[in-house]
Structure 1
Amino acid sequence: MDYKKESLIKLLKLVEEISKQPGYEWFRNELELIFVNKSTNINNSVIDDIYEYCIKLIIKDHAEKFYSDFKISGIKEKLVNDFIRMEKFRREDNFEDFCLAAYQQLESIVNILITDPNLVEYIQNNKDFSALLKYDSATNSFIRKSSMTISKLIFSQIDEAKIFGYLNQPFSNWFFTNKFKAVLFYYYFNKEIKTNTDQFNRIYKIGNFLYQGRNLNHRGAPQSQFQQDVIDDLLPNQHKYYFKFLGFLEDFITTVNKHI
């Protein structure tokens, strides 16, 4: 492989910057072991190895900083490792595994939050309350006034008997899509969806698309028409969904973290 002069200069600056940072003395020592011997042949393979090693350090640093202030400490190490895997797959243009690693971060957070006793108690006690706050000109304030109840928001338009069945079992047994909606309502929107469900549906949709992207790793089961339609949209537009999913993940995690 031929290397452009500009790229090599950037690589040298990157190596120099990393080697000077506190805590990376070992990295500087490794470089000295490689290059201190004047007879060492600096070939393309060595440069590739150094470059890849630097990239791995940068991705690890990004992952740790991204989750540095995340409040659920018990899953932070797993989230960091999944973030590193996600970025690795993105660099390799491995869309299916990228979706899996990105989804696993979302799944870990949702599965922890859905067991929060405060969330469980709130939804069980307020399942028939309006999920929407609508502006009331008479009082100049937002009031709960809509036929869209909290239970219907989470479970869509299924009958009352099924809703009762869901709410009287451990929330952790729900389908992921229902758990995701509950966490969105309680944490992302902080129990206050104003005017209409457009924003809620938009965020849910991109999260559900990521879920379907994760399912690309589990081929074999029959696909519903909806699932097939999503896949038909995802696969030809992978270059766009890399960024859509990254943006969604950052927004979801940052916003939810504020209300934990």
Structure 2
Amino acid sequence: MEERDWRKTKLSLERPYKDDQGERIPVLLDITPDGERVFESPENPTKLLGENLRRIFFERGVDFFERQDSLPSGVAQSLEAADQPSEDEENALDPAKTVLTSEELLSLRMECIPRLFIALGEMTEARDLLSLLLSSAPLRHPSAASSLPPLALTATVATKPPPIPSVEVFNAQLALGGKDEALRKAANVFKQAAANLEKSRQSSENYWADALKIRKANWGLVPAPLPLGAPTGKGADKTSKDFFVSFGLEEFPKKSGCPYGNVRC
């Protein structure tokens, strides 16, 4: 059975670097506000190789390739030295005779160079300070009595310029407007308080007028007990401020224990 064509299709997971015409796809870095696209400049392989070689010589040393060529012989010598007595092993493990590797030399250099730069900066500042102190001339002390030339200081009378009429009128209107607004707010507060007092006075008059009408109609009035939380100690005012209306039914039994023979509400 032949394999189907779509099964032969292969998709590469590698990032595409060429278009359909075989041209290199540039890497887009940014798009300016004008709509212009900024692409990554192509790298020169020769220049990149030169920079890599320069880094190798700078970080690993000038004799890096010579030491790389001598590695196989060094490995063979180390295998032969494994059969030697323990004294050679002790000499090989001696820190004084151990040769530092390129990585150790690089880490040591990266650790020492910042400290050397700090020391160089401090010494430069100290040198500049000493040169400044040595080159500066001694200060001359001012004379005790300094004499001023005659008529060096004069006094003149300056008059305040008159205010601008429009600005003065605007400031007066602003002040009067603020005072008028404050007075109106205070008047509204007093007006509302007076209305509340009048309303409470009328309700109180109507309340006691209704009480007199109830009493005139021969309804029983009973003093109301003091409200909850009212002072009941010695010397406290225990006068009742309200009353209850007592009423009863003709068929109501009198053995209910009520002192008035009726029901209070």
Please state which band the TM-score falls in when normalised by the shorter chain. under 0.3
Q: Between Structure 1 and Structure 2, which shows a larger proportion of helix residues? A: 1
Q: Is the radius of gyration larger for structure 1 or structure 2? A: 2
TM-score computed with the length of structure 1 as normaliser: 0.17
